[in-house]
Amino acid sequence: MKKSNDIGFFVVIVGQKCSLRCKDCCNFAPFAPPENMSYNVNDLTRQLRAVTEVFSIRKLLISGGEPFIYPHLDKIIKSCLDNDKIAKINIATNGIQFPTVDLELLRNEKLEIRLSSYPIVEQRASELNDFLTMNGIKTYFHKFASKISLWHKLGGVDCEASDRNPSEIFEKCDKNICYTLDDGKIAYCSRAINASYVQKFTPNERDYITVDDKDFADKFKKYIQEPKYMEACRYCYGYDIPTFVEPAVQIK
């Protein structure tokens, strides 16, 4: 049970629009509904403020989709940099898109760029890394949960509900406290919210909390203090099964 007043890691999804169409995307970005492609920046900044009024965040990951194609990324970054309840900020990019935001924002000592190590964009990502480094921006390459630059095979759009105990899948998952804000809702992992739209299952009431609920703070504290499996766990193979796939294989 969590008793401290901070969260170690928190993800905010700015939208599911991406410059790649990866068939094994664990967050189902290529299959997301149109209304989830790009979220309203004012809603996002308000929701993040509401989160940090309840808990401080040691590391915030700005993710997508692809954040560097989100049209209001500068406003998100500035809001997070100005928030003293957020200690560190990472931006997750697939390495294709060079940033169009003010580079001075990205030079902030509080911020670091997380580049993906995909074979299909290796040269481009290397060029982006060189560009960022030359401009005094901190970067690192991310090798994903497998630690070997491969993706876990978690189950796609047509994945059937598993016969496994969902509590077991949840408890053995190393992403079960990857608290993620997506479409105004917070879930235990970055996959869960979009999964319900794409895999066409009905989530349980306990699966997520909605930031704009009037009793959000109390619900958020309870959600973190009493973690339970989500319906999305039934439609996920889990991280404890060592099945890997090549990352970023594109939909033909």
The predicted-structure confidence for 99-115, as pLDDT tens digits, reads as follows 999 999 999 999 999 99
| CA separation for the pair 222, 186 (Å, rounded) | 13
The predicted-structure confidence for 216-236, as pLDDT tens digits, reads as follows 999 999 999 999 999 999 999
| Sequence-distant contacts of 161-169: CB under 8 A, at least 24 apart | 161/201, 161/234, 161/235, 162/234, 162/235, 162/236, 162/237, 164/238, 166/229, 166/230, 166/231, 166/233, 166/234, 167/228, 167/229, 169/229, 169/233, 169/234, 169/236, 169/238, 169/240
Give the model's pLDDT for residue 252. 87
Give the model's pLDDT for residue 145. 66
The answer to whether the beta carbons of residues 90 and 55 sit under 8 Å apart is no
Question: Structure pTM?
Answer: 0.95
User: With bands split at pLDDT 50, 70 and 90, how would you rate the model's confidence at 176?
Assistant: confident
**Does 90 score more than 60 pLDDT?**
yes
* Burial of residue 167 (number of CB atoms within 10 Å: 0-12, 13-18, 19+): exposed
Give the model's pLDDT for residue 146. 64
The answer to whether the beta carbons of residues 39 and 72 sit under 8 Å apart is no
**Does 1 score more than 70 pLDDT?**
no
| CA separation for the pair 60, 80 (Å, rounded) | 9
Give the model's pLDDT for residue 35. 96
- Picking from 128, 135, 136, the residue whose alpha carbon sits closest to that of residue 93 is 128
